[in-house]
Amino acid sequence: MSRRYFVPLVYIIFLMLPIYWLLNMSFKTTNEILSGFTPYPRIFTLDSYRIILTDPTWYMAYVHSLAYVAINTVLSVTVALPAAYAFSRYRFLGDKHLFFWLLSNRMAPAAVFVLPFVQLYSSVGLFDTYLAVAFAHTLFNIPLAVWILEGFMSGVPKELDGTAYVDGHSFPSFFTRIFIPTISSGIGVAAFFCFMFSWVEMLLAKNLTSVAAKPIVAAMTKTSSASGYELGLLAAAGVLTLVPGAIVIYFVRNYIAKGFSLGRV
Amino acid sequence: MSKAVNNRAWLLVLPVFIIVAFNAIIPLMTVVNYSVQETFGNNEFFWSGTRWFEELLHDQQFYASLGRQIVFTGLVLAIQVPLGLAIALCMPPKGPWVSVCLVLMSLPLLVPWNVVGSMWNIMALPDIGLLGKGLNALGISYNYTRQPISAWFTVVLMDVWHWTSLVVLLCYAGLTSIPDAYYQAAKVDGARPWAVFRFIQLPKLKHVLTIAILLRFMDSFMIYTEVIVLTGGGPGSTTKFLSVDLVQKALGGFDLGPAAAFSIVYFLIILLFSWLFYTLIMPNEAQS
Amino acid sequence: MAEIKIENLRHSYLANPKSDADYALKRVSLTWKDGGAYALLGPSGCGKTTMLNLVSGLLTPTEGKISFDGRDVSMTSPEERNIAQVFQFPVIYDTMTVFDNLAFPLRNRKVPEAEIDARVRDIAQMLDLSASLSKRAAGLTADGKQKISLGRGLVRADVNVIMFDEPLTVIDPHLKWQLRSKLKELHQRVGCTMIYVTHDQTEALTFADQVVVMNEDGEVVQSGTPIELFEKPRHIFVGYFIGSPGMNVLPCEVRGGKAFIGGSEVPAENASSATGYGKTELGVRPEFVTIANEGLAAEVVKVSDTGRFRIVETRSHGATIKLLVPEGEPAPEGLTHLAFDRAHTQIYEDGWLAGAKS
Amino acid sequence: MSLELIDVVKRMGVETHIHPCSLVLEDATFNVLLGTTLAGKTTLMQLMAGILQPTSGTIKFRGRNVTGVAVQKRNVSMVYQQFINYPNFDVYENIASPLRVAGMTRVEIDKRVIAAAELLRLRPMLKRKPSELSGGQQQRTAIARAVVKDSDLILLDEPLANLDYKLREELRDELPRFFAGRNAIVVYATTEPSEALLFGGNTATLSAGSVTQFGPTVATYRRPKDLVTAQVFSDPPINTARCIKNDTSLVMFDGKSWPAGEAAAKLPDGHYTIGIRPHHISPRVQGDAAGILEGRVLITELSGSESIIHLDVGGVTWVSQFPGIHPFTVGSTASFYVDINRALFFGANGELVS
C-alpha cells in the first residue's frame, strides 16, 4: 500500500465518524447521553429502536416516506423514458431550450417553490397526500431521470433501432420489447437516483403534508430540540433512514458518478 | 446516422413537459403574481408594481443574506474541489478496494439532508458531542450555538463531509477514462509525476471539473435543510443563507409580496448559472 | 540503437500456467539485429501485442530472457529500456504546441534548450511538420498526430527501439500509403531498430525486411523476408495467412520419396525428405498452379474475376484447388488437368515444412 | 419483377445527399453499390429499405408504389457495418426476432432458425450472447437474421469492413452461398472494387451522391462510362495524365511521346486524358505498344502475392501493380512499361471515348 493511498483512507475515516457517533448515541440510555462524553454505550439499550418500531406515528412515517418516494420514482422514470429517447435520437423544434429548461428546474431551489406548492396542491385538493409530495418531487427528479437516461441511450447505436424496424417491430413494440431491456442498467440507475433524491428531500415533503402523509423527515424534526430524551430517539430514527441507501448503493456502484453528474460523465 | 430532424418527437416529450410545467410554470406564475401585488390577508390584492423589487434591492438584510451565501458557496468551492481532486488522484487506478472505497465515500450523499443536520447537531454539542468535546479538550473554546466562528466552521465542515465525495467520484471517473496509452507514453517520455498531472490528467479533467464546480455551486447556493436543522440560521443570523431567509419570510408572515420578489431574484440568479452550466457542459449540442 | 535478443521467451496472463494452452505467447527465440525493420504479423488475439509489451517492458515475462545489446532487460521498466512507442490511437499532449510535444522527452531529460531546438527542427523537417511547429497539436489530422508520436521517439538520440502498435488503424485508407512510405523512408534515414505490429499483411510486408508470423494460439511459426514467406512458407498457416487467395493445402501420401494425390503422382520439391509420419499435406500457391493437358485431373467449379486475373476454383479427389489465370487468357471449364511448379510445391507434416523443422 | 427507383432525391437540410437517381434492380440478382466513404451508399440503401423517405421521386417494388410505405411493412432485411445485434438476446433469439414479430409458430421458427444457424455455422453458439462472440461470429448472427426471413430485398452495408482481412476473405467466399437459390434482390455496399468484381452480378458506381454508372460488373469495370467511374472502380487508384494525340503517337505532359496503340488509333487528334490501370504497368514490356516511365521509386507495397510500386515521374506519382514479390529499394530509379493497348481514353469533359 503505497504512501498516497493513506489520503483516501483518512478521508473515509473522517466520513465514518459522524455515522459512528449517530450509531453510538442510538444505543445509549437517556441519562447516559446527558451524563457526558462516552465513546461507546456503557449500558447498551435498544429502547430507542423499540419505540420507533412500535409507535405507529414513527414507523408509519417511514411507510409514508417510502410510499411517496416509490410513486415518484415510478412516475419520473416512466415519463422520462420516452422523453430521453426523443432527446437522444431526434432533433426537434426547441429541443435545446427544453433540455435547458429541464436543467434549470433540477437546479431550482425548493425554498422558492415551497409556498406556491402548498397553495397549488391545497387548491387541487391534494394537500397531505402521497401524490402531493410525489408530484412535487418530480420538479427535480424528472429532469434528473431524463439527463441520466439520455446519457445511457446515446451509448446504444442508432442502427439498433433501424434493425428492429427492419425486423418488423412497430415503434411501441421496439421500445418496450427491445430498447428498454437494452438500457435496463440505465433505468436501474435512474430509478435509484430518483429514489435517493426524493428520499433525502425535507422542505417540500414536510410542508406539503400534516398528518395523513407525514414523512419520516418531518417526524424527526419535532424531536430535534437539544434535550436528552429525544436525542437517542433522533439518532435511532436517523440510523434507520441510512438503511435504504446502504442496501441499494451496491447495485449501482459502478454508475454512481454517472448518476450524480446528470449522466454527463 | 446523425440525429434526424423529426418534430413528431414532441409527442414523446409531451408527458414530461406537462408534469414539469404543472410543477414549475403554475407556481412560478403565482410567485410572479404576488411579487407585483400587495395584500393584507382575506386575499384581496392591490397592484403594487415593482415596489417589492425596489424594496428588496434596498433591503440590507437581503444583501447580508446574499453576502453570507456567496461567502459560504465560495468556501465550499475553494475547499471541496481541490480536496476532492486530490483524493481522487490518490486513489488506486484499479483493484478490488476501489469499489469498496467508492461505496463508502458515497454514503454521505445518500443520507437524508435533515439527518445530516441532526447528525452534526449531536456531533458538535460542546459537552457531549464527539467534535464539541474533542475541540474543547484541545483547548479551543468551541460552542457552535453561540460563537459565529464556530457555527460557520461547523456548517462548512458539515457541507464538506456531505458533498466532497461528489467531487471525488466525478474526478475519479474522469481519471479512469484516460486510456492507459497516455500513461505509457508519459513513462516512455520520462515524464515526472508533476508533468503527468499538468499535461495529461488536468486537460482530460477539464470537462469533469467544470461539472463538479457548477453542480457544487448550484447545490450549495440553495442549501436550506442541513443549515436550518443544525443552527436554524443562528447564532442570531450569522448563518442565515438565502434559502433560510426566504423560507422564514415566505412561511413566516403576511409579507407575501416581498417574499415573492425575493424568490424571483433568487430564481433569476440560479437561471443565469444554469445557462452557464448548460453552455459549458453541452459543447457539441450547444454549437450544432 | 540496439540488437534485441529473445531467448526462450514464454508468457502467460495466469498466475500459474500449467498446460501449453494457458500461454498467450508460446516459447520463442529470436534475434533482431540493430537498425533492422521488423514486423509482428498475425490475426487478432494471436499474442503479438503481448510480445510487443514484453519487449517494451510494460509486461515482465513469465519465462525467458530479453536483452538489449547483451544487457538483460527482462525485468527493467520501459524508461530504463529507452524505447519509444507509437500507439493505435494518436497519443499527444493536447494543450501543447507541436514543438513542445516533440521537445517534451528532451526537456524531461534536462537537455539544454539550444540543443533541443536544433534536434526538434531537424526531426520536424524529416516528418514534414516544420510548417505546423507552432500550432496546437490537438488541431492536426490523425496522420499528423501519429507523426508527432513518432517524432517524440526520434528526437531522443539514445532510443534503442521504436515500436508501432497498428499505427495506421485510424488513418484514412487513401492516406495510408503516404504514411507507410514516410515510415519506410524514415527507417532508411535514421536506421533505428523498428518493430511494427499489425494484422494486415500489406503493412507488415511493406514496412519490414523480416516479418515474424504468429498463429492464433500465440506460436511464432516463421520469421523471414517477404520473399521467403511467399516462396517457401515453413508452416501451412503462413501459406494460408500470407497472400490472397491463400496457399492450397491438399491431403496427400508420400511413398518412396514421391508424393501422390488420389493415386496420381505430383511433383514436390521436398518430397524426398518427407518422413511419412503425422498428417501429410501438400502446399502450393494458386500462382504456381497451371492448366495442362495432363497431370492431376480436376473439375472446374467456379471462376471469379478480379480484373487483374481470374481465380479458378477446381475440385480434385475431394479437395479444392485454386489457380490464377492471367487477364486475356481463356478460363478453363469442365474437366481439366493441373500442373504444379515443382520448385514451389512443398510437403508439410503436421503443419510444418517436411525436412526443415528447426 | 423488380425494385425501381425513379428520379429519387434525398435532401437533408440544405445538402443534397442523393442527386436524382433512377435504378432498376431485378429479382434474384446480386447488386453492388461501389463508392468511397461518404459517397451516399448508406443513404441510398436506407431509401431502398424505407428507413428514410425520399425528398422527391418514387420507389416501386414489383410494380407497386411503396414510396411512403414504412420499412415495417416491407419485406426487407439489413446488415450493418458494426455487427448490430440485440445485446440481451442470445444468438437463437437474435435470429428468431423477425419471425417472432411476424407471428410464426414456435415449431416453424425453430426449424428456420436451426437451418439459418447451420448455413452460417452458428449451431454451437445458439445459446451465447453476442458480447461473448468474436467479430466474425457477431456478423454471421446478423447475416443469419437477414437470411432467416426470406425477405424480397436484402441490404448489406459494408458488412465485412470491420473484420480482419483473412476473415473478410472467408466471408466473401461464403456470402454468395447464403443467398443462392433465393428470389431476393441482394444489394451489397462496399468501398473495395475487388469485392465488386469477386461478387460479379451488377455494380452501381457512386460518387458524391450520384450514381455514375449501373450495369453488369465486368462491363462497368472494362468500359467505365467516364473518368469518375473509372476512378471509383480501381484500387490502387487509376493513373491519369493529359496527353495530345497526333497521328500514331501520344505527346505526354513531360514531352515524351508514346506509340498511340490500337485503342487510340481511331481517335481524331486532340487533347485527351489517358487512364491506365496499375496492373497495365509492369517492369517488363507487355503488348506491342509500350510507353516508358522512368522515375524514382517512392515505395514498394507488398500485398502478400503482389507488388505495388509507387513511382515519382517528374513530380507525378504513377502506380504499378504486378504479381510476385519484387521489392524495389526506395529512392532507386527504375523504368516501367505501359501497355497502351489496354489504356482508356477520356475526352475533354471526362467521357470515355475508347
Output the domain CATH number for residue D141: 3.40.50.300
CB of A181 less than 8 A from some CB of D: yes
Q: Quick check: A261 pLDDT over 90? A: no
Asked if B266 has any chain A CB less than 8 Å from its own CB, the reply is yes
**Is the domain of D271 the same as that of D170?**
no
B31's grid cell: 410567485
pTM here is 0.88
Residue C357 lies in a domain: no
CA atoms within 13 A on the CB side of D122: 31
Residues D293 and D201 occupy one common structural domain? no
Residue D156 has pLDDT above 90, yes or no: yes
Closest CA to A183 of A195, A191, A171: A191
> What is the C-alpha to C-alpha distance for residues D156 and B234, in angstroms, rounded to an integer?
71
Residue C257 exposed, middle or buried by CB count within 10 Å (0-12, 13-18, 19+): exposed
User: Degrees (nearest 5) of the Cα angle C340, C343, C349?
Assistant: 85
Instruction: Name the residue range of residue C54's domain.
Output: 4-231
What is the share, in percent, of chain B residues with pLDDT greater than 70? 95
**For testing the chain B interface, which of A165, A174, A256 should be mutated: the one with the most B CBs within 10 Å?**
A256
Asked whether residue C132 is assigned to any structural domain, the reply reads: yes
Which pLDDT score, from 0 to 100, does residue B287 have? 38
Whether residues B194 and B232 share a domain: the answer is yes
pLDDT recorded at residue C188: 84
Interface of D with C in 62-81 (CB under 8 A): none
Domain check: are C40 and C159 in the same one? Answer: yes
What type of residue is D104?
M
Nearest Cβ partner for B189 among C94, C95, C108: C108
Of D46, D70, D84, the CB nearest to A163: D84
**In a shared domain, residues B49 and B72:** no
Single out the residue in D182, D199, D232 at which a domain terminates: D232
The pLDDT tens digits of the residues spanning A69-81 come to 999 999 999 999 9
Q: Distance (Å, rounded) from C-alpha C119 to C-alpha C136?
A: 19
Closest CA to C33 of C209, C244, C220: C209
Residue C236: inside a domain: no
Measured over the CA atoms of residue B110, residue B111, residue B113 and residue B119, the dihedral's sign is: negative
Are C223 and C253 members of one domain?
Answer: no
- Asked whether residue C148 falls in the same domain as residue C108, the answer is yes
Give C192-251 pLDDT, tens digit per residue. Answer: 899 999 988 888 998 899 999 999 888 999 999 998 999 889 999 999 999 888 899 999
Looking at the fold, whether B150 and B53 belong to one and the same domain comes out as no
From the list D120, D128, D130, D135, the residue with the least C-alpha distance to D82 is: D135
Residue-level pLDDT at C173: 73
- The answer to whether the beta carbons of residues C258 and C265 sit under 8 Å apart is yes
Same domain, B54 and B73: no
Query: DSSP of chain B, one letter per residue?
Result: --PEE-GGGHHHHHHHHHHHHHHHHHHHHHHHHHHTEEE-STT-EEE-TTHHHHHHHH-HHHHHHHHHHHHHHHHHHHHHHHHHHHHHHHS-SSSHHHHHHHHHHHGGGGS-HHHHHHHHHHHH-TTTSHHHHHHHHTT----TTT-HHHHHHHHHHHHHHHHHHHHHHHHHHHHHTS-HHHHHHHHHTT--HHHHIIIIIHHHHHHHHHHHHHHHHHHHHT--HHHHHHTTT-STTTT--HHHHHHHHHHHSS-HHHHHHHHHHHHHHHHHHHHHHHHHH-HHHHH-
Among the partner residues D49, D84, D101, nearest to A168 by beta-carbon distance: D101
Q: Which residues pair with D282 in a beta bridge?
A: D337
Q: Which residues of C touch D237 (CB under 8 A)?
A: 174
| Cα–Cα distance list, C302 to C71, C297, C305 (Å) | 57, 16, 10
Q: Are residues C184 and C249 in the same domain?
A: no
- Indicate if the pLDDT at residue A226 is higher than 70: no
What is the least distance, in Å, from the CA of C126 to any CA of chain D?
15
Interface A-D: count of C-beta contacts within 8 A: 51
Which DSSP state fits D133?
S
Owning domain of residue D55: 2-232
Residues in chain A with CB shorter than 8 Å from the CB of B159 are none
In degrees, to the nearest 5, what angle opens at C-alpha D113 toward C-alphas D111 and D117? 120
Q: Which domain holds residue B284?
A: 23-58+253-288
**Statement: residue C172 has pLDDT above 90:** no
- C-beta separation of D321 from D308 below 8 A: yes
Residue of C nearest to B194 (CA): C108
Whether residue B54 is found in the same domain as residue B89 = no
Averaged pLDDT for residues C39-54: 88
Asked, as a colleague might, if the bond just before B235 is cis with ω within 30 of 0, I would say yes
- pLDDT value, residue B288: 35
What is the C-alpha separation between D80 and A203, in angstroms, rounded?
Answer: 52
- Indicate whether D96 and D219 sit together in one domain: yes
The mean of the pLDDT values for chain C is: 88
Question: How confident is the model over A87-116, as a mean pLDDT?
Answer: 90
Residue C49 pLDDT class (50, 70, 90 cuts): confident
CA dist B266 and B20 (Å) reads 20
Q: pLDDT at position C157, please?
A: 82
Min Cα–Cα distance to chain D from C171, Å: 13
Among candidate residues D232, D258, D293, the one where a domain is terminated: D232
Statement to judge: residues D220 and D267 lie in one domain = no
- Report if residue C342 sits inside a domain: yes
Q: In this predicted structure, what is the pLDDT of residue A224?
A: 47
The answer to whether A243 faces chain D, any CB pair under 8 Å, is no
Residue C239 belongs to a domain: no
Lowest average pLDDT, out of A132-146, D206-220, D315-329, goes to: D315-329
Determine the pLDDT at residue B253: 64
> Is the same domain home to D148 and D276?
no
Using CA atoms, how far apart are residues B157 and B141, in angstroms rounded to an integer?
Answer: 17
Residues C223 and C258 in one domain: no
Domains: count for chain B: 2
Torsion of CA A22, B222, B13, B28, to 10 degrees: 130
**Given pLDDT bands bounded at 50, 70 and 90, which one contains residue A227?**
low
Evaluate if residue B286 carries a pLDDT over 50. no
What pLDDT is stored for residue C17 in this prediction?
Answer: 84
Q: Identify the chains in contact with C, defined as 3+ C-beta pairs within 8 A.
A: B, D
Q: Is the model's pLDDT at D167 over the cut of 70? A: yes
pLDDT at residue C42 is higher than 60: yes
| Assigned domain for B82 exists | yes
The reply to whether D260 and D182 lie within a common domain is no
**D101 to each of A168, D88, D144, how far by Cα in Å?**
6, 17, 16
> Taking residues A78-86, what's their average pLDDT?
96
Our CA-based measurement puts residue D14 at a distance from the nearest CA of chain C, in whole angstroms, of: 26
| Opening angle at CA D306, ends D31 and D163, nearest 5 | 50
Predicted pLDDT at B285: 44
C237 assigned to some structural domain: no
Q: Residue D14 has which C-alpha cell?
A: 440544405
Share of chain C above pLDDT 90, in %: 36
- What pLDDT, on the 0 to 100 scale, is given for residue C357? 56
Indicate whether B137 and B223 sit together in one domain: yes
Backbone dihedral angles phi then psi of residue D67, each to the nearest 5 degrees:
-50, -50
Measure in Å the smallest separation between the Cα of C204 and chain B Cα atoms: 22
Please state which of the ranges A77-81, A223-227, B82-86, D322-326 shows the lowest mean pLDDT: A223-227
Q: Average pLDDT for residues D46-72, to the nearest whole number?
A: 90
Strand partners, A215: none
Residue A182 touches chain D, beta carbons under 8 Å: yes
Hey, what's the cell of C173? 485508407
Q: Which domains are present in chain A?
A: 1-45 (no CATH), 60-260 (1.10.3720.10)
DSSP state of C97: B
Residue D193 sits at the chain C interface (C-beta within 8 Å):
yes
Q: Do D200 and D278 reside in the same domain of the chain?
A: no
Q: How many domains does chain D have?
A: 2
Nearest CB to C85; choose among B188, B192, B199: B188
Tell me, what CATH number does C148's domain have? 3.40.50.300
Residues of C in contact with D328 (CB under 8 A): none
Contacts of residue C349, Cβ cutoff 8 Å, sequence gap at least 6? C274, C275, C277, C278, C279, C280, C281
Q: Is the Cβ pair B199, C91 closer than 8 Å?
A: no
Torsion of CA C281, C284, C289, C292, to 10 degrees: -30
Q: Measured between CB atoms, does C105 come within 8 Å of chain B?
A: yes
CB D120, CB D140: distance < 8 Å: yes
Task: Please check whether residue B47 lies inside any domain of the structure.
Answer: yes
Q: Identify from B43, B102, B114 which residue to disrupt to test chain A contact, counting A C-beta atoms within 10 A and taking the largest count.
A: B114
